[in-house]
Amino acid sequence: MSFDKFFFIILTMEELEQKRVIGLMSGTSCDSIDAGLCNVYPDLSVELIKGINYEYPAFVREKIFKAFNNELSIEELCQLNFEVGECFANASNLLIREFGKPDIISSHGQTIYHYPFDVKEDNLSLKSTFQIGESSVISAKTGCLTISNFRETDIAYGGQGAPLVCFADKQWFKNSAIQNIGGISNVTVVSDDCLPFGFDTGCGNIMIDYCMKKFFGEPYDKDGEIAQSGEISEYWLNCLLEDEYYYNYPPKTTGREYFSPKYIENILKIAPEKKEDIIATLTALTAKSISQSYERFVYPNAHIDTVIIGGGGAYNKFLMKLLRRYLPKHLELKTHEDFGISNNYKEAMAFALLGYCTYYKIPNNVPSCTGANKSVVLGKITYAK
Ligand SMILES: Nc1ncnc2c1ncn2[C@@H]1O[C@H](COP(=O)(O)OP(=O)(O)O)[C@@H](O)[C@H]1O
Ligand SMILES: [Mg+2]
């Protein structure tokens, strides 16, 4: 029996209680803070009571993007940590006004930088990750115990600090690839054949969103309609699929640092002329990189019956159509909604679960997914005063 299972059984006997938890998540797309008020039960199932998408004020979002592009001073970054903390608190307070205080707020924070590489400087490791949204501000402005900074602990124990949602996926699903398509796309594989594993399959919506803004002045391709009206350039698609990231073996994670504006401007140099074709091909890239990564890293290791899509990409009809076309016919293609879990709030629900586990000292990383050398309790607790 694994250590965490053993630990969990001991704790279960020691009375875990149902808790009300607000899970807070903002991903690489930075489209909104997803706040989900949840009931978390002792069997580690989670029920969403109410979710809201709280948009950052435009000037905050602008600063976050500046931070992504390394265009903020340390002074501004210092301020932004507290500003974002206040936004997270405001999002929570909207729920609190309606439903009262939860037992726990569990905040992923806003990732500004993620560096999962084992590079050393004179024997000191540079592996690191940086999420902002100061938990002391969240706790002070809501009056709730706040749990935050999950990824750092996993990195400290030799992991990549990601993917963390695997922990929820392995509780909630069976024999499936659980594919999140946010800014970045990441998968968790849960199969009877092996320990759960997961990795980032590559780009999700980052490049689509970037080009929608650049060529159409829109934040994203609503329902995939522009992509649907274009034609996929097989030549450009195949060039893009040659990127070495797709060939690297898991565990692997990526982010905006890799699929940066510079990267996108570079690939646009050989893009098709019609802007609709660009969006269609980038959408195909997301779908094809997912299906190819399964061929390389999933099917040889694990039997799965179902692919379950979540995140904003699940609402892109053209992307879903392409996934159906590229994935083997015997696999069922579903979305989280088919399991009664919102595509929009799945990650907020997962962080509600992670926070619940931190509260009860239940190890909540999945070493087979992150590469950590130990199963540990992630996160830091800020008590309400
Ligand atoms: N109706 C929709 N049609 C197409 N794409 C959508 C739709 N809704 C959301 N998206 C895409 O999903 C992205 C947000 O997904 P999300 O899962 O919140 O990502 P992240 O975790 O990176 O914030 C948006 O930026 C957009 O590209
Ligand atoms: Mg989002």
* Closest protein CA for atom 6 of ligand 1: 312
The span from the first CA to the last CA of the chain, in angstroms, equals 39
**pLDDT tens digits, residue range 115-172?**
999 999 999 999 999 999 999 999 999 999 999 999 999 999 999 999 999 999 999 9
Given a cut of 70, whether residue 206 has pLDDT beyond it is yes
Please state, in angstroms and rounded to a whole number, the distance separating the CA atoms of residues 279 and 285: 10
What is the 143 CA–ligand 2 centroid distance (Å)? Answer: 25
Instruction: Note the Cα 177 to chain centre separation in Å.
Output: 15
Compute the CA torsion angle 201, 355, 53, 116 (nearest 10 deg): -30
Q: Is the pLDDT of residue 10 over 60?
A: no
Q: What are the backbone angles phi and psi of residue 50, rounded to the nearest 5°?
A: -160, 135
Percent of the chain at pLDDT > 70 equals 96
> How confident is the model over 34-54, as pLDDT tens digits?
999 999 999 999 999 999 999
- Residue tagged 């069997």 (tokens): 43
In tens, the pLDDT along 230-268 reads 999 999 999 999 999 999 998 888 998 899 999 999 999
Q: What is the pLDDT averaged over residues 302-324?
A: 97
- pLDDT value at residue 12: 56
Query: What DSSP letter does each residue of 154-222 carry, written as one string?
Result: HHHTTS-S---THHHHHHH-SSEEEEEESSEEEEEEEETTEEEEEEEEEESSHHHHHHHHHHHS-SS-G
pLDDT digit string, tens, across residues 325-361: 999 999 999 999 999 899 899 999 999 999 999 999 9
Residue 230 CA to ligand 2 center (angstroms) comes to 26
Q: What's the pLDDT band for 29 if we cut at 50, 70, 90? A: confident
- Please say if the pLDDT value at position 13 is more than 70: no
Q: What is the pLDDT of residue 22?
A: 99
pLDDT averaged over the chain?
Answer: 95
Name the residue with the closest Cα to ligand 1, atom 13.
312
Domains of the chain (ranges; CATH) run: 3-161+345-382 (3.30.420.40), 168-339 (3.30.420.40)
- Ligand 1, CB cutoff 6 Å, lining residues: 27-29, 31, 182-183, 205, 208-209, 220-224, 311-313, 315-316
Q: How confident is the model at residue 3 (pLDDT cuts 50, 70, 90)?
A: low
Distance of CA 186 from the midpoint of ligand 1 (Å): 14
- The residues, any chain, with a CB within 8 Å of residue 330's CB and separated by 6 or more, are none
Predicted TM-score (pTM) of the model is: 0.91
Which residue, chain included where needed, has tokens 């695997």? 166
Q: How far, in Å, from the CA of 27 to the mean position of ligand 2?
A: 5
